[in-house]
Structure 1
């Protein structure tokens, strides 16, 4: 059989709220058995003596995260709620965010032994609702996961009694191997909600009086029932390796069979158990003697233990040097029934992952009737460390009705990782690589919880590079609407930053933002004045990505410049100040930065270039190809460098009107650039500029001379234009005709968006001498594209400073990937962090070298625990229910579904599909009677808190409405507004964008009806 990898897991078992706690419980030989929680006894028929393995509070559920209405959450079987959260966390543990699998063929296979929730509630016909019907269905357990995570592969619940979840694993494995799905979630869940099955066990003589399973012990006296849920994420081994996922263990083979006609439908069959184990070994392609340990079914019933050991002995009891280790997790947590197989599989996968098998609880008093030694078996009285190399273990699970399952697992293969080698000529790295650690949540409070959870886990790690942790966080912790991001090189400083943000609300408010939509990004390409020796040298040293692209730009320019731009820059040659050298160097840096950001998933929605910056902007927009642009830039630089010296430029902190009079008295001066309302540049002879500077100083206007060798954008450039234009005509004549820009291009020559016009030779010649109309071009770009992030592309932050003084719309971000000579990989990473917080989705992989793209353990998502949903059985409800009850059938209905909410409640921000719009002020509904009626109908249908629903709340994303709820909403609106009668569901659907849009539609319907 082709191997299948276990790449992720999550579980909730008695005494163990997650996989780490589960492993710790097993390693210390812990006992999770205790008394039944008091809340479950009420109305369910339990007596006070019930003991077993129980979860502390199964009423807790983060319904807002999954966009589930309170009414629906209260009606849902807690088994469904548990598995939804486990599935999300298991996918995170696999190194993949659930959102990345949306729409995929991912399958969901869940083992479950019926619904005791349905037994408690569906018999009271007066309280039955559609929500309770779906919430009580066993089949819906898998479907819930598929629906809320938008997974489109197979989705089925499996009930073969106690073997259900291992049979689910078997089906998931086969689905993967057949190509039916590319990823599979295999799961099991069990909750003890009624005493019914316990009574069955007692009447069959199978119930342990103390509620403890004592597998293979002389003290074994029956079964103790337990809660539990577990999910594993499975992938074909080759796919898991290709994607760099962490592999806990490999499933080498599985098998399922049936007892057939044995001594009774509930009696186990030694021969069938033997055959299922042997069949799994055959499918795995291993000999039975290769199996080092078996996680047995091991319920602690005398007959069951004897039959199982006899079957295992016949398969594994071949002549062997060491007996097979034997254990059963039921000794620690009890019999989790439908979840017992997944509990055993997770234990086995963890044992192989950690290369140590936990001790068998109750091994001290071995049952002599089992004849373990002569059968080649032994109980493990202490943990056993596994040897190097591949190690094989088995897992068994047997159903009461005779459906048996066995799986053979092995340690994960050692996969060679490609060594990270610096590119040729790159200096050795002297500091740890920088990464961006991302954390997100569905509400501000969720973000705080998860910042704290990550900080706590990281603080326990040894100090080291943070790059792999950052890469992992980008894959699994980046998709929710409230976002924080931190640049980091080491784990200690990262943990401190996370902790500080979690504890300081003001600090958190400064780094964490809510995403409503993706940003509109515009690139602003810097002009002539930005060049300096050594520009971007630090980034070249620290970023292999930028290094590659600057090398490529250098190669494109070299044939036309007669030398290496890269060497000029890295050598910090002052020749970079000459026009002949500076213009190609600026072009190379801008083009390399553009390509670097493109590889990182940051591409512009619009571009603008200042002077020489229009050339890389034109390449980015598709108006020029790289070769043509390189030839044009080299020609422009050569012709301008040949001009006589003596010209200069003066930057003035005043508007165009303020310098107009000065230009009138100094006719040799020209207006070279209008950069903003109070930013202009003059160009001309140096003596005229000196006189102008003196006049401006007297007027109290600041000015400074720019470091240039010529009077660019003035009539003094005119002698260079004929030669340059001739070259441009030849260059552009040898290239395909220019097409309109692929993305909006703001022309600083025209001071507007270029539209359908394609720059020709005349354009580029005029552009060299005419004024730069940066302010007009920027205003047009922002107005026509709605740009929300302006990213300067160049070696110094100049244009973002001008833009900051240009009166842009509030909230416009001004960013720079390389703001200064010493800027390196840290500044580039910081810009990505800023864009991510703004709503961008960078292509994070390219920020990291291949050796750092490996999955690391992060803290699982910390769900909210402030909402509790518990629908009391009918007997309790008839007695009056509980304070704060919310009726399952709507407000005022008989009975009660307790939906407690403690602490501050945030607006919904559903992680699995919605974005959590914040409701509008409640005063709107008070002023509008139709809106008020619609709001109250929505509140009643979903049983939301009144403050939760307002005009801005969206039906699907925020409130979790479905077709059933829409039907109920229509009925309630007509009850409250009889004049709205006659509206059909089909007519309602287009209006269901938000509560406010629905109210507008209803108002229009009523108005039109009244007019008729």
Structure 2
């Protein structure tokens, strides 16, 4: 058998809500046994059953809104189904998987479940039978609910082999993975004690413990105590888990299932079958029983069961060995969880191997001498046992009443060495993300993450951030914050919780939900934005930026004979290095753009200011990197060869104000029109000095730029001539280019040699180009691509942003990886789904455990047939006029909308205030095809003037409550005409 990795776990057992609580219960030697909750049944009515057992707290809690289940359907669902859905979500998160990302995949679901108490309790009264109760009471739905709500298309089956059900489910899941039927599998089981009926059976068979407690292998053992439980593990093939860098709790080396056949009774265990299943499992695992350090036994605590199991264990494991094989059973802590018993033992064993400690088995102090454990090479685990280094093997047994036996062989996970980075970047910035289904749920989960992180030692946050990006990003209400260490992160989370505290009146802020994806435009900065060591901090911290700057450096080096990367990192001054500064700026622009696009930030359009148009053209697909590098290097050489005497200055005025002064100095031209009152003048130095003096007399502010050349003026004619003669293999743009040469979005004009020649000596029409971009593209975000902000400041002064938010991933000399992370965080909050791994160095791409999703506990559905579930009448109801309801949106009577709202509340069981006009039938209200048919009948009954309307006619209108009301109103008007 191939190896299977256990990569995720979630569980809830008596006294232990969650994996950590379960481990604490085991290692603390505690039991989750208590009195029968009053909700279950009146113990005085069933004295023969006893008044204690293992019961899950809050078994009636179910966040039906999260899973888009209507209240009526939730009330009709078997509590097994309600418990499994959040358990599956948390298990997948624990595996480092965002559950929503598995939608449409062939992920398998295998659930062990025993009996059908819910069906017996709900379906016996034929007058109360409904489609919802029919689906809600089906054992098969325990697996199918998970597959349906998570949109998983792999094998999905419920397994009932009585007490061995959940371990058999694990066995089937492993085989499905090895057969290639699925690549990921959820496997486990669930059990909720809903009635005393099976306890009565145990009592009549003489198998019930007098105190409701299982006492495995103890001299005090006197039978079974029943218990609740739900547990799921996420399984993957070991090679896949290792390749993805998953955290591995343990490895399933092999498993086997068999049957007693016709033995000594239908419900009695059979020693020889148990021996055979043990040996078969070890053969499949390629292991010898002598290698097994401990066995998590079935261990019900019945006299007959314990005796037969110990005989079988001793026969297989009691081979000549230096130390006895240790055995124990979690049933001493929990009771017998029946359909979930096998997964309880499996999870206990996986956690023991993971923590390398085997917890003590309760009731082991008074060993049953009649079991002759020592003679059989066995010993009870009477105190916690620390496991030695190296691979450890363990066995898990689960035997079903009726004769289906299962055994699994687990091994400790392979120890993957952690890479030691060559360059320490422990303080690298990451983006910590949290998402939830509502604003209030977001606040709740922010608080949970803050509490969990505050309990950890303070340390670097990048790996935690990366794990949150993989797991906590799939829901509509989003939060993101940058952080370098956990202390900083906890503070940020706590502040976010405070900001999201409910306002007076109990209403939480409704922000954080992105209703669309951001529309991003890149603005590439030109010359004049350079400074020593520009983007050096980002180069040190961002692996992606390093990779892309190195790529640009290599492309340029062949043409300029020098390394722009070395010049940047060396902090060299750029003045006097005309042949190097332009290639360096191009390299920075190219690397920043490639870094962002690699992170999933796809621009809807690009704009480049002067030199910035070269990197913009590469991003738009017009030029390849090598061709652009050649052109930029040529432009730099041609510029460096110009004679001295040129200069540039800014003037806080428009061309109309400047016209009179410029008319007196024909050699001075407007080199860049950046805004209505923001012009850059270019020309000979002496002429510019005279222009500045004249403008000062008019009260126009001017500022000389640190430029030794008169860019975008007739003095650039030699550069233009050289560029015009250079071959330029350009391709059509793959996205819109707002041309600062033409002041508009390019249509069919090629960015060929003629374009670049004209672009060098003609003015930069930045304001017009940006206006065209904003008008045509309507960006939500403008990201400046360059070493420091220039264009975004110019645009903000000009008031030409169109409401777009301004971002900069490398804002000046103090810039580091923090600003890049903040840029991605801002876009994520607005709806972008980034390619997060590009943000992190390899040493930070390690799985880190995070607190599981905290579901709402406000909604409760009792685990007995609820009186609130009114029987459906599957005939068309008589027309019943509903009371007039004032429209909540307009304050006016809207009888059609009112009728739709009333019908929705009746079919779904929602309170009327929940059914607002904007509520969507599928996403918000959880309606399915059966409910839509019921809704149709009730609407027609309330609105006789609608007449007969088919579901097919209604389908286009079933977007929301309001759209259906509008459709029906149109039908009434049409038929009235």
Structure 1 residue 507, shift from structure 2 partner: 13
Structure-1 residue corresponding to 2:351? 350
Structure-2 residue corresponding to 1:839? 831
Structure-2 residue corresponding to 1:499? 494
SS in 2 for 1:514: coil
Change (3 A) 1:986 1:307: same
Structure 1 residue 407, shift from structure 2 partner: 0.5
Structure-1 residue corresponding to 2:818? 826
**Contact preservation (8 Å) 1:578, 1:709:** no
**Contact preservation (8 Å) 1:890, 1:941:** no
**Contact preservation (8 Å) 1:44, 1:873:** no
Structure-2 residue corresponding to 1:20? 20
Task: Give 1:25-174 correspondences, 5 Å limit.
Answer: 25-41=25-41, 50-174=51-175
**Cα separation, 2, equivalents of 1:977 and 1:511:** 35
Structure-1 residue corresponding to 2:853? 861
Structure-2 residue corresponding to 1:467? 462
Task: Give 1:77-476 correspondences, 5 Å limit.
Answer: 77-421=78-422, 428-429=423-424, 432-476=427-471
Change (3 A) 1:641 1:194: same
**Contact preservation (8 Å) 2:634, 2:723:** yes
Structure 1 residue 445, shift from structure 2 partner: 1.5
**Cα separation, 2, equivalents of 1:511 and 1:955:** 20
5+ long unaligned stretches in structure 1: 422-427, 878-884, 895-919
Per-residue deviation, residues 860-888 of structure 1 (Å, max 9, x unmatched): 111111111227537xx4xxxxxxx5746
SS in 1 for 2:681: strand
Change (3 A) 1:555 1:706: same
**Contact preservation (8 Å) 2:653, 2:679:** yes
Change (3 A) 1:485 1:542: same
SS in 2 for 1:251: strand
**Cα separation, 2, equivalents of 1:506 and 1:310:** 61
Per-residue deviation, residues 501-542 of structure 1 (Å, max 9, x unmatched): 223438999997212222122111001121122211222223
Per-residue deviation, residues 148-197 of structure 1 (Å, max 9, x unmatched): 11111000000011110000001001000111110010010000111111
**Contact preservation (8 Å) 2:43, 2:50:** no
Per-residue deviation, residues 261-304 of structure 1 (Å, max 9, x unmatched): 12221111111111111111111111111111111111111111
Structure-1 residue corresponding to 2:526? 527
**Contact preservation (8 Å) 2:127, 2:871:** no
Is 1:944 the counterpart of 2:910? The answer is yes
**Which is worse superposed, 995-1004 or 26-35?**
995-1004
Is 1:633 the counterpart of 2:625? The answer is no
SS in 1 for 2:182: coil
**Contact preservation (8 Å) 1:27, 1:358:** yes
**Contact preservation (8 Å) 2:738, 2:745:** yes
**Contact preservation (8 Å) 1:44, 1:194:** no
SS in 2 for 1:394: strand
- Runs of 4+ with >6 A deviation: 42-45, 506-512
**Contact preservation (8 Å) 1:43, 1:873:** no
Structure 1 residue 56, shift from structure 2 partner: 1.4
Structure-1 residue corresponding to 2:964? 998
Structure-1 residue corresponding to 2:882? none
Structure 1 residue 1009, shift from structure 2 partner: 1.9
**Contact preservation (8 Å) 1:67, 1:960:** yes
**Contact preservation (8 Å) 2:79, 2:863:** no
**Contact preservation (8 Å) 2:256, 2:277:** yes
**Cα separation, 2, equivalents of 1:952 and 1:191:** 37
Per-residue deviation, residues 588-633 of structure 1 (Å, max 9, x unmatched): 1111112222332323222111111111000111111112111211
Structure 1 residue 81, shift from structure 2 partner: 1.1
Pairwise CA RMSD = 2.5
**Which is worse superposed, 607-616 or 42-51?**
42-51
**Cα separation, 1, equivalents of 2:388 and 2:413:** 13
**Cα separation, 2, equivalents of 1:277 and 1:544:** 50
**Cα separation, 2, equivalents of 1:34 and 1:924:** 54
Structure-2 residue corresponding to 1:983? 949
Change (3 A) 1:997 1:873: closer
**Which is worse superposed, 680-689 or 506-515?**
506-515
**Cα separation, 1, equivalents of 2:21 and 2:319:** 36
**Cα separation, 2, equivalents of 1:685 and 1:340:** 88
Q: What TM-score does the superposition give when structure 1 sets the normalisation length?
A: 0.91
Structure 1 residue 444, shift from structure 2 partner: 1.5
Structure 1 counterpart of 2:474, from 474, 479, 486: 479
Structure 1 residue 937, shift from structure 2 partner: 1.9
SS in 2 for 1:935: helix
SS in 2 for 1:840: coil
**Cα separation, 1, equivalents of 2:655 and 2:397:** 84
Structure 1 residue 657, shift from structure 2 partner: 4.3
Change (3 A) 1:600 1:271: same
Q: What TM-score does the superposition give when structure 2 sets the normalisation length?
A: 0.95
Structure 1 residue 203, shift from structure 2 partner: 1.2
**Contact preservation (8 Å) 1:515, 1:837:** yes
Structure 1 residue 668, shift from structure 2 partner: 3.5
**Cα separation, 2, equivalents of 1:385 and 1:255:** 28
Per-residue deviation, residues 649-697 of structure 1 (Å, max 9, x unmatched): 2223444544445444554432222223443322233444444445555
Per-residue deviation, residues 214-244 of structure 1 (Å, max 9, x unmatched): 1111111111111110000000111100000
**Which is worse superposed, 159-168 or 39-48?**
39-48
**Cα separation, 2, equivalents of 1:618 and 1:510:** 43
Change (3 A) 1:221 1:571: same
SS in 2 for 1:682: strand
Structure 1 residue 933, shift from structure 2 partner: 2.1
Structure 1 residue 929, shift from structure 2 partner: 2.8
Aligned residues: 963
Structure-1 residue corresponding to 2:619? 620
Structure 1 residue 811, shift from structure 2 partner: 5.5
Change (3 A) 1:772 1:462: same
**Cα separation, 1, equivalents of 2:655 and 2:224:** 89
Task: Give 1:601-612 correspondences, 5 Å limit.
Answer: 601-612=600-611
**Which is worse superposed, 859-868 or 563-572?**
563-572
Structure 1 residue 943, shift from structure 2 partner: 1.7
Task: Give 1:830-979 correspondences, 5 Å limit.
Answer: 830-870=822-862, 872-873=864-865, 877=867, 885=868, 887=870, 889=872, 922-924=888-890, 926-979=892-945
**Contact preservation (8 Å) 1:529, 1:708:** yes
**Cα separation, 2, equivalents of 1:690 and 1:488:** 49
Structure-1 residue corresponding to 2:6? 6
**Contact preservation (8 Å) 1:649, 1:689:** yes
Change (3 A) 1:465 1:970: same
SS in 2 for 1:513: coil
Change (3 A) 1:45 1:699: farther
Structure 2 counterpart of 1:766, from 749, 758, 762: 758
